């Protein structure tokens, strides 16, 4: 039997990035994936005969450049071209849409000249401020207790970057950092379509409304990501998100990573406070010096390690991680491409957003606080088969949408609520793309409850924990343990539940691997 | 022509505190007040015969004891009486009381949940730890993080040191707390909805936020940092109503030689060559002063009292962006007898405290949703007190004055200004709420005064009726309050200062902004501040 | 186990409203204690009306040391911990090895938070293989419930429903025997057994807080008065007396025992970071069992030991002279503050001036020479300041053979 230095639990993109990075550093690494294929929430799957779709994550916005570089993903099949950058289209029921072209609106069309110039300024400011935060993505959160020289220097660089902003800009940065996105937009913009789009993007994937303080951070998080070297750029990967994972997998296998699928882990074996191996559902035991969990932190600590090996306070903190998903995923197999009113052909290949105004997004958010879904949901729609015909039969079309707000703990239960929610979504779609309802061959709606069940993501939360200010940086996954290591020696966390959080970035996996290497694990 | 050493615009509590400190430093100070009485939002007036109304602020805790002492306020009649308890009525005919006695408090919680009853100590410890961290900042000028001046660096160092005394984990917990919602924070301690609602209300009072909004945990702290004679977190009544605070301040001010002119509304600040030279009253009278201090909120001060051309664009932009949305109203009621609450035993001390009817987080948050939508709530959140249960000066024997603080009340109703009909509808939502728990309540009403943001702005001059002179969100706290770059009580106009709640550390009848502003003014004048006590030791 | 909300029905809730009228509850023994309370000298013990003294605090102390003293311990917090995983659960929560605690035995233990800071100390009674009673000064239900996640165990707070008595002193055994508790002579120190009483049972353990021969008795609240009567009747000829806390507190100090939130601050009550204490910092290091499996605070305690991060030490002091040094500051070389006395007295049994103090290491640990205490003694409305030499000495300050003698003697 082969012995391994490190076992990575979970073959999602972060697990694969961590595994590949460790393997490149000379470790013998085994990845254990519960499902029959790797990729986690970044897979491409068949959902209807002849129709394929990116199963959960569908737009690439933040694959970290260090990941691309370290793992040489472009050599392993990842294709990113500037021409693939997709526009964002803010749909409007009663008029033409507003479109952000290029990398998050380098050019804005569909609005007044004055709005265009205000946007240009605001965009530059948002990019500047997001840029200040960007270096934090690829480092472990600052350890406030005992900072190493390198860490202090890194923080010093941030301070320097702040100073470089100039006094007034720095003041504004500090003022708006924890603001709500709606107020900031109201201060500067006039066009409610643009405001609606930005409000939606800021709150996408979180349990916040645009009026919730700190919601602006969500927009910074988005804009701190980059694609093909362009901040804020977004694209639909050819072949779906599974193609990105395939590239990471290829890089890992090249470096010697062994991958076992259909190998769900039942338990992490702890001896004298140290993780020494894992037991599979099958009963098979595998031992290694280092265990890396790229699955949800609560599932790792509570289910795989179990409370008996961990202190009560830590258990409390883990249980307090808020991770109730609020987004659903919709997949439609359409017999023909839909026609969204007023949107041109290029626009249909873009990201079509239904979020008519910040107030609308806020109103959609309100019911989710009480365990109800929004009767007028907001959503981000893509039609990936338009740019990648391999995803649908000829002449047919795939629609993939992230829909908010869909609270994990729906009061009436998702069994009863799901058909109603689907109806509300279809009604909303119908009003923007008349006739779409008649073209549906098959509809698949994944509620947070489905996502939890199908993707082993507790709460159905794609960030493995709310990405809000109090669960970021030093507080992610829990305060006192933000450095990827855990109270169990030899056990590390490498998933989206760790800093910096979710999205197909690979950053948690990369940072964790770097930390493991630094700790000689 | 006489030139005063300092003219204070507005005789609210902060204006008077500021005036007192300046006068005691030897300056010749004039306070000009538009109303025929002083006090701003801390007044008590006889609005119907025999009844004294504290018609805006109604309870006392935050007012800094250092100021009471420095300005000899007890000598001028200030007396604060702790109240005895409080309760949230539940819809099933019960109530959850807060008792002063620690063990009674625990037993009361245990009626609902033994676990929550025993969780209180840890909750209380954690909130107290947060208070200890934040309290010393109240009586200090916020440092400018962009400045390299030794004083600002020194303050930053002080903050840093406060941090350094903590373990890494404690530090992370401190920071985390600041961005949490009170709802999430309470979820980590308690399981019972009504117990959470009982604590959550301190996280929303005076703010345009719901209990589920991030940042409301900090607001809880803002209401927890006060004290009554060393009993931290306690609240009480000023004997004679909240007006007693400002009456004592005015008397102290006059006794030290200060001058107050009431019925003197300022039309604008006289500015010449970028420097404040005095004020012009509504009637056209010009009053000259070497410096001018505005107790009005930052919007009123710079958008109404100072000409735009005197102000740099960036400052003006930031002032315009200052958020000051009103979120609350008041319904003040004179009663011919003590109302009965069948749920509450007749001998309960709760009558002598604050009472509430919102027994769940969801109801509280839904009331906020109504505010966001621009309407008052049919199920409002009330904080109801009957000060006459402890203060015999406010109503004839056997009769009572009741103060109801109401959230939420939007600055505009569905986009239009408040009308009298709106006001009456708002009042009805409050009376109906009380009457549901107190049969016969309507029949006891002798007189009622309803104050929506419209009335509050009209009488007190608080823009949009915001009782804190600006919302207490991160973007408007510490060095961001009121606006970045001008968080040290000075303004772009030379000799024009700010001393109201728009400045650090913010609203509530605290007096700290007025005091801190005085310290900065005296520093600019190179005068001694030895008559100002440093902040008391933290708890 | 899962978080089971402990919500009550609204009817039971409403019935309990009237507690606000009785701020200090009586214990199940209150009618009898009230009848004996000549001094009417009460204090608040966790919301109960408890006597400081009943007739004469000094003589009450001598009742403990010469005859038998009856002290009501009902206000002590009590938890019933029961279930197949009760042993494993307690082993994870507390410092000592619970697997070594056999049914019918009691041990003194403590429990810590993640940082290794002591949450409380207390006594753990193993009533059966799967049933325990944990007694402590403070309340810990949320901590116990959260610690129970993943364990098959039920935790119930039973402070009000279980009444407790401490019967302490040289004749305490004779009193129990004469009261008809057959077989009580078999109880060795830290043994417990159940005995029939009044149609029910009473749990008697040979434990106590006095360093003397003594027992503790737990009964359902409704059997409390009959138990009291039974003991008082049989003890009449053996000089049994009911006593208050002041006397007990003296006895416990002579025995060198510490009291939570008197000699150290429990972690859930510590506002200031420097008030937190690890077991090694309050003399409880002996409880820490590194041989057993994981327990709360293990990692932190090990780390602090390895990195020599222990900051304090709790010591017994013997002080020259006869003036109690209560709350005195301890100095090194008469000028450097190194700690504080938390309890002090002239010991009638040891004829020594004794104290318990918390010192900042290395003082009291490796540096034990040249220690002084500054005593302020009130003499006719004036303080007299005394600087007295203090010596670190072993605890307990007294050791009584009768405490452990088997079989126990009649007096």
SS3 per residue for A347-412: HHCCEEEECCCHHHHHHHHHHHHHCCCCCCCEEEEECHHHCCHHHCCCCCEEEEEEEECCCCCCCC
Which H helix or E strand runs over A134?
helix A113-137
Residue in B115, B128, B166 closest to C273 by CB: B166
Residues B122, C271: C-beta atoms closer than 8 Å: no
C342 and C199 share one domain: no
> What pLDDT does A383 receive?
98
Based on the fold, state whether residues A218 and A245 are members of the same structural domain.
Answer: no
Measured in angstroms, the CA of C345 and the nearest CA of chain B are apart by 30
User: CA quadruple A127, A132, A133, A139: dihedral positive or negative?
Assistant: positive
- At C28, which CATH number? 3.30.1360.120
Indicate if C346 and C240 belong to the same structural domain: no
Chain B residues with CB-CB distance to A179 below 8 A: 473-475
C216 assigned binding-site residue: yes
Asked if the C-beta of C154 comes within 8 angstroms of chain B's C-beta atoms, the answer is no
Q: Which residues of C touch B129 (CB under 8 A)?
A: 271
Q: Does B260 touch chain C (CB under 8 A)?
A: no
CB contact under 8 A, A313 and C294: no
Of the candidates B173, B365, B479, which has its C-beta nearest A369's C-beta? B365
Residue A310 lies in a domain: yes
What whole-number distance in Å separates Cα of residue C170 and Cα of residue C239?
A: 10
pLDDT digits (tens, 9 = 90+) for A197-249: 999 999 999 999 999 999 999 999 999 999 999 999 999 999 999 999 999 99
Whether the bond into B74 is cis, omega within 30 of 0: no
What pLDDT shows up at residue B170? 74
Give the confidence band of B176 by pLDDT, cuts at 50, 70, 90. Answer: confident
Enter the DSSP assignment of C151.
S
A310 vs C151: CB contact, 8 Å cut-off?
A: no
Domain B3-42+62-78+241-322+468-524, architecture per CATH:
3-Layer(bba) Sandwich (3.50)
Exposure class string for B198-221: b at 16+ Cβ within 10 A, else e: bbbbbbbbbbbbbbbbbbbbbbbb
- The DSSP code sequence of A18-33 is HHHHHHHTT--EEEE-
Last residue of a domain, one of A223, A247, A266: A223
Nearest by CB to C19, which of B107, B112, B119? B107
Name the residue with tokens 């090194």. Answer: C332
Residues of C with CB under 8 A from a CB of A: 88, 92-93, 113-115, 143, 146-147, 149-151, 293-294, 296-299
Q: Tell me which residue in C13, C139, C273 faces B112 most closely, judged by beta carbons.
A: C13
Number of domains in chain A: 2
Looking at residues B44-62, what average pLDDT do you find?
94
Report if residue A507 sits inside a domain: yes
Average pLDDT on A451-455 reads: 96
Residues A217 and A260 in one domain: no
Q: Which among C254, C283, C318 is the end of a domain?
A: C254
Verify whether the Cβ–Cβ distance A322 to B184 is below 8 Å: yes
pLDDT category, A145, cuts 50, 70, 90?
low
Given a cut of 80, whether residue B157 has pLDDT beyond it is no
Answer whether C296 sits within 8 Å of A315, measured CB to CB.
no
Asked whether the beta carbons of residue B474 and residue A213 sit closer than 8 angstroms, the reply is: yes
Q: Which of C119, C140, C150 to mutate to test the interface with A (most CBs of A within 10 A)?
A: C150
Task: Give the C-alpha distances (Å, rounded to integers) separating A400 from A175, A328, C22.
Answer: 37, 11, 65
Q: Which of B103, B121, B191 sits opposite C268 (nearest CB)?
A: B121
The ipTM value here is 0.95
Do C60 and C21 fall into the same domain? yes
- Tell which of A188, A223, A258 closes a domain: A223
In the stretch 31-60 of chain B, residues with CB closer than 8 A to chain A read none
Query: What was the pLDDT predicted at B159?
Result: 66
- The answer to the question of residue C90 being in a domain is no
Strand partners, B85: B99
User: What CATH number is attached to the domain comprising A18?
Assistant: 3.50.50.60
Closest partner residue to A214 (CB to CB) among B163, B173, B179 is B179
- From B104's Cα to the closest Cα of chain C, the distance in A is 6
Nearest to B385 by CA among B84, B44, B46: B84
Contact B7, B518 (CB under 8 A): no
Tokens 């006891």, located at residue: B444
Q: How far is the alpha carbon of A173 from chain B, nearest alpha carbon, in Å?
A: 10
| A489 to chain C, closest Cα gap in Å | 10
| Domain boundaries, position C355 | 267-393
Q: Are residues A182 and A253 in the same domain?
A: no
Minimal CA separation from B91 to chain C, in Å: 11
Same domain, C198 and C61: yes
Q: Give residues with Cβ within 8 angstroms of A1, minimum separation 6.
A: none
Q: Name all chains with 3 or more CB-CB pairs below 8 Å to chain A.
A: B, C
CA distance A306 to chain C (A): 7
* Closest to B121 in 3D by CA, of C140, C276, C155: C140
Distance, CA of C325 to chain centre = 22
Q: What is the domain range of residue A262?
A: 4-42+238-321+461-518
CB B501 within 8 A of CB B14: yes
State yes or no: cis peptide before A399, omega within 30 of 0: no
**Which of these, C118, C119, C71, C126, lies nearest to C97 by C-alpha position?**
C126
Confirm whether C144 is domain-assigned: no
**Closest A-chain CA to B147:** A167
Nearest CA in chain B to C22: B104
Number of H helices, E strands in chain C: 10, 19
Q: Place A95 in a pLDDT band, splitting at 50, 70 and 90.
A: confident
Provide the domain count of chain C: 2
pLDDT in tens, B455-493: 999 999 999 999 999 999 999 999 999 999 999 999 999
Q: Is B111 on the interface with C (CB under 8 A)?
A: yes
The reply to whether C237 and C276 lie within a common domain is no
Count of other CB atoms within 10 angstroms of residue C335? 8
Q: Kindly list the distances between the CA atom of residue B467 and the CA atoms of B324, B330, B402, B471, in Å, as whole numbers in the listed order.
A: 9, 11, 19, 9
Q: What does the buried/exposed string (b/e) look like for B34-70 if buried means 16 or more CB atoms within 10 Å of the residue's CB?
A: bbebbbbbbbbbeeeeebbbbbbbbbbbbbbbbbbeb
State which residue of chain B sits closest to C138, comparing Cα positions: B118
Query: Could you tell me which of A244, A248, A180 has the C-alpha nearest to residue A214?
Result: A180
> Residue B413 has what DSSP assignment?
B
Please give the average per-residue pLDDT across A188-193, as a whole number: 97
Domain boundary among C221, C254, C287: C254
Q: For residue C254, give Cα distances in angstroms to C69, C283, C351, C396.
A: 16, 16, 10, 6
Q: Do A306 and C143 touch (CB under 8 A)?
A: no
Tens-digit pLDDT profile for residues C137-190: 999 999 999 999 999 999 999 999 999 999 999 999 999 999 999 999 999 999
Looking at the fold, whether C323 and C381 belong to one and the same domain comes out as yes
- pLDDT tens track for A301-334: 999 999 999 999 999 999 999 999 999 999 999 9
Task: Report yes or no on A336 lying in a domain.
Answer: no
Mean pLDDT of A73-86: 92
Q: What is the three-class DSSP state of A332?
A: strand
Tell me how many residue pairs between chain A and chain C have CB atoms under 8 A apart.
46
For the cut 80, the answer to whether the pLDDT of residue B184 exceeds it is yes
Is the peptide bond preceding residue C387 cis, with omega within 30 degrees of 0?
Answer: no
Q: Does B349 touch chain C if contact means CB atoms closer than 8 Å?
A: yes
The answer to whether B122 contacts chain C (CB < 8 Å) is yes
Determine whether the interchain pair A475/B475 forms a contact, defined as Cβ–Cβ distance below 8 Å: no
Looking at the fold, whether C250 and C273 belong to one and the same domain comes out as no
Q: Comparing A278-282, B133-137, B262-266, C391-395, which segment has the lowest mean pLDDT?
A: B133-137
Per the CB < 8 A criterion, the answer to whether B192 and B111 are in contact is no
In 10 A of CB B1, how many CB atoms?
A: 6
C271 touches chain B (CB under 8 A): yes
Domain co-membership, C240 together with C290: no
Name, in order, each residue with C-beta under 8 angstroms of C225's C-beta and a sequence gap of 6 or more. Answer: C28, C29, C31, C32
CB–CB of B104 and C271 under 8 A?
Answer: no
Please state, in angstroms and rounded to a whole number, the distance separating the CA atoms of residues B346 and A139.
62
So what's the pLDDT on residue C4? Answer: 47
Residues A124 and A207 in one domain: yes
User: From the candidates C266, C268, C273, C303, which should be mutated to test the interface with B, based on the most B CB atoms within 10 A?
Assistant: C268
The residue with greater pLDDT, A154 or B161, is A154
Per-residue tokens: A346: 């290029």
pLDDT at B156 over 80: no
Kindly give the interhelix angle for B114-138 and B102-110, rounded to the nearest 10 degrees. Answer: 130
C236 lies in the same domain as C300: no
Average pLDDT of span A366-391: 97
Inter-chain CB proximity A314 and C150 less than 8 Å: no
Q: Is C19 on the interface with B (CB under 8 A)?
A: yes
Say which range, A217-221, A390-394, B56-60, B239-243, has the weakest mean pLDDT.
B56-60
Cβ atoms of A73 and A247 closer than 8 Å: yes
**Same domain assignment for residues A192 and A265:** no
Beta bridge partners of A378: A404
Residues of chain C found within 8 Å of residue A313, distances taken between Cβ atoms: 113-115, 296
* B425 touches A: beta carbon within 8 Å: no
The torsion angles phi and psi of A231, rounded to 5 degrees, stand at: -65, 135
Question: Would you say A378 and A200 are in contact if contact means Cβ atoms under 8 Å apart?
Answer: yes
For residue A175, tell me if it sits in a domain: yes
Q: Are A193 and A361 in contact (CB under 8 A)?
A: no
Q: Which two tokens stand for residue B5?
A: 């050493």
Shared-domain flag, residues C284 and C377: yes
Determine how many CB atoms are found less than 10 A away from the CB of residue A284. 11
pLDDT score, position C2: 40
- Shortest distance, CA B162 to any CA of chain C (angstroms): 12
Using CB atoms and an 8 Å cut-off, which of residues 31-90 of chain A contact chain B? none
Contact A308 C293 (CB under 8 A): yes
What share of chain B in percent tops pLDDT 70? 97
Shortest distance between the Cα of B228 and any Cα of chain A, in A, equals 32
Residue ranges of chain C whose pLDDT lies below 50: 1-6
- Per-residue pLDDT band for B147 (boundaries 50, 70, 90) equals confident
Residue in the structure block whose two tokens are 């201060």: A187
Structural domain boundaries in chain B: 3-42+62-78+241-322+468-524
Q: Would strands A285-293 and A4-9 be described as parallel, antiparallel, or unpaired?
A: parallel
Residue of A nearest to C290 (CA): A272
- Contact across the interface for B107 and C7, Cβ inside 8 Å: no
| CA–CA min distance A20, chain B (Å) | 32
């Amino acid at each position: 039997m082969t012995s391994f230095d490190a076992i990575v639990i979970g073959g999602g993109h972060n697990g694969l990035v961590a595994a590949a990075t460790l393997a490149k550093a000379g470790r013998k690494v085994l990845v254990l994936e519960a499902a029959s294929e790797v990729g986690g929430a970044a897979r491409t799957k068949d959902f209807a005969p002849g129709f394929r779709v990116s199963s959960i994550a569908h737009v690439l916005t933040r694959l970290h450049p260090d990941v691309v570089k370290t793992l040489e993903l472009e050599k392993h099949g990842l294709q990113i071209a500037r021409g693939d950058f997709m526009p964002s289209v803010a749909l409007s029921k009663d008029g033409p849409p507003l479109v952000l072209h290029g990398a998050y609106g380098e050019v804005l069309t569909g609005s007044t000249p004055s709005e265009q110039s205000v946007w240009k300024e605001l965009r530059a400011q948002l990019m500047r401020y997001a840029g200040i935060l960007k270096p934090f993505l690829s480092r472990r959160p600052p350890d406030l207790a005992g900072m190493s020289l390198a860490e202090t220097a890194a923080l010093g660089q941030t301070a320097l970057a702040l100073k470089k902003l100039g006094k007034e800009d720095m003041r504004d940065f500090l003022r708006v950092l924890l603001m709500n996105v709606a107020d900031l937009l109201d201060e500067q913009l006039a066009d409610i379509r643009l405001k609606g789009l930005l409000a939606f993007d800021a709150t996408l994937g979180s349990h916040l409304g645009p009026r919730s303080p700190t919601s602006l951070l969500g927009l910074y998080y988005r804009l701190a990501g980059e694609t093909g070297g362009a901040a804020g750029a977004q694209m639909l990967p050819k072949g779906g998100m599974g193609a990105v994972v395939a590239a990471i997998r290829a890089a890992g296998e090249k470096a010697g990573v062994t991958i076992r699928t259909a190998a769900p882990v039942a338990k992490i074996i702890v001896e004298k406070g140290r993780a020494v191996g894992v037991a599979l559902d099958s009963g098979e035991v595998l031992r290694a010096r280092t265990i890396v969990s790229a699955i949800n932190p609560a599932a790792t600590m509570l289910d795989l390690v179990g409370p008996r090996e961990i202190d009560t306070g830590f258990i409390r903190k883990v249980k307090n991680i808020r991770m109730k998903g609020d987004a659903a995923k919709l997949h439609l197999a359409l017999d023909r491409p839909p026609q969204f009113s007023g949107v041109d052909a290029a626009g249909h290949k873009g990201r079509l957003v239904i979020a008519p105004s910040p107030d609308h997004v806020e109103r959609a958010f309100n019911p989710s606080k009480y365990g109800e879904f929004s009767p007028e949901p907001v959503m981000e729609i893509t039609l990936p088969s338009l740019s990648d015909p391999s995803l649908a039969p000829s002449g047919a079309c795939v629609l993939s949408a992230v829909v908010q707000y869909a609270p994990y703990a729906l009061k009436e239960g998702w069994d009863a609520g799901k058909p109603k929610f689907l109806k509300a979504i279809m009604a909303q779609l119908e009003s923007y793309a008349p006739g779409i309802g008649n073209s549906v061959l098959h509809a698949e709606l994944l509620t947070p409850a489905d996502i939890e069940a199908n993707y082993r993501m507790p709460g159905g939360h794609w960030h493995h924990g709310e990405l809000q200010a109090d669960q970021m940086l030093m507080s992610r996954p829990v305060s006192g343990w933000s450095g990827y290591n855990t109270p169990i020696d030899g056990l590390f966390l490498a998933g989206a539940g760790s800093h910096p959080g979710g999205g197909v970035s690979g950053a948690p996996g990369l940072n964790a691997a770097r930390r493991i290497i630094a700790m000689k694990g | 022509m006489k030139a005063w050493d300092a003219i204070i615009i507005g005789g609210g509590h902060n204006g008077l505190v500021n005036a007192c400190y300046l006068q005691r430093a030897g300056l010749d100070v004039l306070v000009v007040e538009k109303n025929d009485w002083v006090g701003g939002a801390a007044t008590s007036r006889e609005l119907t015969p025999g009844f004294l109304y504290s018609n805006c602020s109604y309870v006392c805790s935050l007012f800094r004891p250092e100021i009471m002492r420095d300005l000899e306020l007890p000598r001028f009649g200030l007396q604060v009486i702790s109240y005895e308890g409080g309760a949230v009525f539940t819809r099933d005919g019960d109530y959850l009381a807060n008792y002063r006695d620690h063990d009674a408090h625990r037993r009361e919680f245990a009626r609902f949940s033994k676990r929550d009853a025993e969780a209180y100590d840890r909750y209380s410890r954690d909130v107290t730890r947060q208070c200890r961290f934040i309290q010393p900042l109240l009586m200090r000028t916020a440092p400018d993080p962009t400045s390299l001046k030794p004083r600002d660096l020194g303050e930053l160092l002080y903050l840093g040191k406060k941090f350094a005394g903590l373990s890494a984990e404690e530090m992370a917990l401190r920071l985390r707390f600041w961005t949490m919602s009170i709802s999430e924070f309470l979820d980590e301690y308690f399981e019972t909805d009504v117990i959470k609602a009982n604590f959550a209300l301190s996280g929303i009072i005076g703010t345009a936020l719901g209990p589920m909004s991030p940042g409301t945990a900090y607001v809880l702290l803002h209401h927890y940092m006060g004290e009554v004679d060393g009993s931290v977190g306690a609240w009480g009544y000023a004997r004679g109503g909240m007006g007693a605070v400002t009456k004592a301040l005015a008397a102290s001010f006059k006794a030290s030689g200060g001058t107050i002119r009431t019925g003197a509304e300022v039309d604008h600040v006289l500015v010449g060559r970028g420097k404040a030279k005095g004020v012009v009253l509504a009637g056209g009278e010009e009053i000259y002063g070497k410096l001018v201090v505005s107790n009005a909120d930052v919007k009123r001060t710079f958008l109404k009292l100072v000409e735009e051309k005197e102000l740099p664009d960036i400052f003006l932009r930031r002032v315009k962006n200052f958020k000051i949305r009103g979120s609350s109203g008041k319904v003040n009621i004179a009663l011919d007898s003590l109302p009965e609450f069948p749920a509450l035993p007749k001998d309960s001390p709760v009558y002598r405290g604050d009472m509430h009817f919102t027994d769940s987080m969801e109801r509280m948050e839904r009331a906020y949703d109504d505010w966001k939508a621009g309407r008052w709530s049919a199920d409002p959140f009330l904080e109801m007190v009957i000060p006459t249960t402890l203060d015999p000066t406010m109503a004839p024997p056997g009769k009572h004055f009741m103060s109801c603080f109401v959230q939420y009340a939007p600055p505009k109703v569905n986009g239009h200004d408040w009308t009298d009909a709106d006001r009456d509808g708002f009042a009805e939502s409050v009376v109906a709420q009380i009457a549901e728990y107190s049969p016969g309540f309507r029949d006891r009403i002798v007189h009622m005064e309803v104050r929506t943001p419209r009335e509050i702005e009209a009488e007190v001059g608080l823009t949009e009726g915001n009782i804190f002179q600006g919302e207490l969100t991160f973007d408007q706290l510490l060095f961001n309050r009121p606006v970045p770059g001008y968080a040290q009580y000075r303004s772009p106009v030379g000799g024009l200062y700010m001393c109201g709640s728009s400045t650090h550390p913010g609203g509530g009848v605290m007096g700290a902004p007025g005091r801190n502003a005085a310290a900065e003014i005296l520093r600019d004048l190179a005068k001694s501040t030895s008559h100002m006590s440093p902040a008391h030791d933290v708890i | 186990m899962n978080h089971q909300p402990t919500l009550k029905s609204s009817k039971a809730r409403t019935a309990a409203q009237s507690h606000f009228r009785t701020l200090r509850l009586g214990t199940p023994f209150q009618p009898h204690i009230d009848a004996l309370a000549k001094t009417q000298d009460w204090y608040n013990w966790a919301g109960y009306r408890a006597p400081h003294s009943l007739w004469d605090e000094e003589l009450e102390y001598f009742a403990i040391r010469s005859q038998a003293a009856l002290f009501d311990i009902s206000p002590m917090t009590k938890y019933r911990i029961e279930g197949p995983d009760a042993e494993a659960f307690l082993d994870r929560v507390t410092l000592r090895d619970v697997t070594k605690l056999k049914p019918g035995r009691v041990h003194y233990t403590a429990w810590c938070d993640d940082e290794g800071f002591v949450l409380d100390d207390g006594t753990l009674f193993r009533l059966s293989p799967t049933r325990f009673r944990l007694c402590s000064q403070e309340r810990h239900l949320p901590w116990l419930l959260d610690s129970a996640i993943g364990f098959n165990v039920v935790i119930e707070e039973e402070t009000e429903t279980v009444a407790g008595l401490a019967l302490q002193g040289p004749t305490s055994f004779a009193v129990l025997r004469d009261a008809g508790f057959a077989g009580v002579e078999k109880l060795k120190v830290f043994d417990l057994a159940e005995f029939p009483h009044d149609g029910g049972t009473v749990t008697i353990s040979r434990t106590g807080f006095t360093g003397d021969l003594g027992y503790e008795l737990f009964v359902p609240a409704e059997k409390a008065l009959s138990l009291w009567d039974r003991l008082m009747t049989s003890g009449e000829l053996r000089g049994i007396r009911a006593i208050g806390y002041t006397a007990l507190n003296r006895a416990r100090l002579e025995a060198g025992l510490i009291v939570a939130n008197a000699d150290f601050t429990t972690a859930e009550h510590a506002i200031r970071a420097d008030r937190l204490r690890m077991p090694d910092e309050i003399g409880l290091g002996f409880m820490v069992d590194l041989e057993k499996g994981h327990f709360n605070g293990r990692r932190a305690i090990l780390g602090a030991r390895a990195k020599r991060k222990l900051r304090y030490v709790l010591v017994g002091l013997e002080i020259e002279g006869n003036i109690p040094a209560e709350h005195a500051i301890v100095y090194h070389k008469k000028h450097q503050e190194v700690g504080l006395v938390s309890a002090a007295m002239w010991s009638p049994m040891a004829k020594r001036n004794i104290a318990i103090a918390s010192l900042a290491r290395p003082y009291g640990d490796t540096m034990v020479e040249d220690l002084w205490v500054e005593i302020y003694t009130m003499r006719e409305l004036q303080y007299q300041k005394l600087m007295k030499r203090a010596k670190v000495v072993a605890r307990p300050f007294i050791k009584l053979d009768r405490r452990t003698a088997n079989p126990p003697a009649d007096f």
